[in-house]
Structure 1
Amino acid sequence: MLFGAILLLSWLVLLIRYPSKALPVSLAALIGLGLVTTWVLWQESRENRHLAHLQLRISYDEQRCPPPQPLALTLTNGSPAALTELRWQIAAYRPGDNVNLAERLYESPRYNGPGNLLPGATWQDCLPLPTLRSGYRASTLEFRAERLHGTFSR
């Protein structure tokens, strides 16, 4: 914080004292910063567009999945790019309710997707339950994937 304040103060002093030399350098730095910001925002919107095309369905299914991992996951990549990495958190809700019953603890399971999922491909897996608040049975809840973070190939 102190370093940034000193840097800003020095830049203002140079701009006031030597405007003919500091102004072109400042404009070039501002244009460069604007280009980098534009590129980062474009990349982020591209990733969000691709994430919007993913179909992720999670259901409690003890018959298809073993007891330690009773959540059945089906992921379909509907985007035009290959999915290279995917991370998410699972939320649990009572039907018709909007209160998340999954606790966010440090020891909660981490959910990661397949290493490489081509466009149009489907991936199925069984997942462990998140830590639920006491008094709720997993078989009576709806599960949703939230806070998706993913990367796609170019």
Structure 2
Amino acid sequence: MLIGALLILTWIVLLVRYPARALSVSMGALLGLGLVASWVIWQEGREARHLAHLELRMEYAPERCPANRPLALSLKNGSPAALSELRWQIAAHRPGDSVNLAEHLYESPRYRGPSELLPGDTWQDCLPLPTLRPGYRASTLEFRAERVQGSFPY
């Protein structure tokens, strides 16, 4: 924060002392900053469009999965780009309710997808349950992915 204040103070001094030079350099820096900002916004929009094409389904299935990982996951990459990394958090809801019954603690499991998933491919796995609030059973809840973050290489 101190460095930012010093930069602004230096820029004001240069603008007062050498207005023509400082203004032309400032316009060049502002143009460069605008180009970087527009590129970042374009990249975020591109990733959001690709993430919208992912189909991520979860269901409590202790008969198909091991006891310590009873949550069955199916992920289909419906986007035109290969998925290289995927992270998310799991929310647990009663059917028809919007209250998240999963507690996100420091020791809660971290959920990650496959290292690479080509367009049109499907990935299935069994996951551990998130920590649920006391008094709720996993068999009576619906599970959804929240805060999905992923990356798609060029």
Specify the alignment match of 1:36 in structure 2. 36
1:146 maps to what in 2?
Answer: 146
1:51-76 Cα shifts (integer Å, max 9, x gaps): 00000000000111111000000000
* Structure 1 partner of 2:92: 92
Q: CA deviation at 1:17?
A: 1.5
What's the RMSD between the two structures over aligned residues? Answer: 0.6
Distance in 2, Cα, partners of 1:104 & 1:127 = 15
Identity of aligned residues (%): 73
Where 1:83 maps in the other structure, the secondary structure is: coil
> In structure 1, what is the Cα distance between the partners aligned to 2:121 and 2:150?
16
Distance in 1 (CA, whole Å) between partners of 2:120 and 2:34 is 36
Partner residue, 1:6:
6
Counterpart of 2:22 in structure 1 is 22
Residue 153 (structure 1) shift: 2.0
Figure out how many residues of one structure are paired with residues of the other and give that number.
Answer: 154
Structure 2: state its 5+ residue gaps: none
Cα offset for 1:13?
1.3
Q: When the two structures are superposed, what TM-score results if normalisation uses the length of structure 2?
A: 0.99
How far apart, CA to CA, are the structure 1 residues paired with 2:40 and 2:92?
Answer: 33
In the superposition, the TM-score normalised over structure 1's length comes to 0.99
In structure 1, runs of 5+ residues without a counterpart are none
Name the residue aligned to 1:130. 130
Q: CA deviation at 1:2?
A: 1.4
3-state DSSP of counterpart to 2:24? helix
Deviation digits for residues 53-102 of structure 1 (CA, Å, limit 9, x no counterpart)? 00000000011111100000000000000000000000000111111000
Runs of 4+ off more than 3 Å: none
* 1:6 to partner: Cα distance: 1.2
User: Aligned partner of 2:108: which letter?
Assistant: S
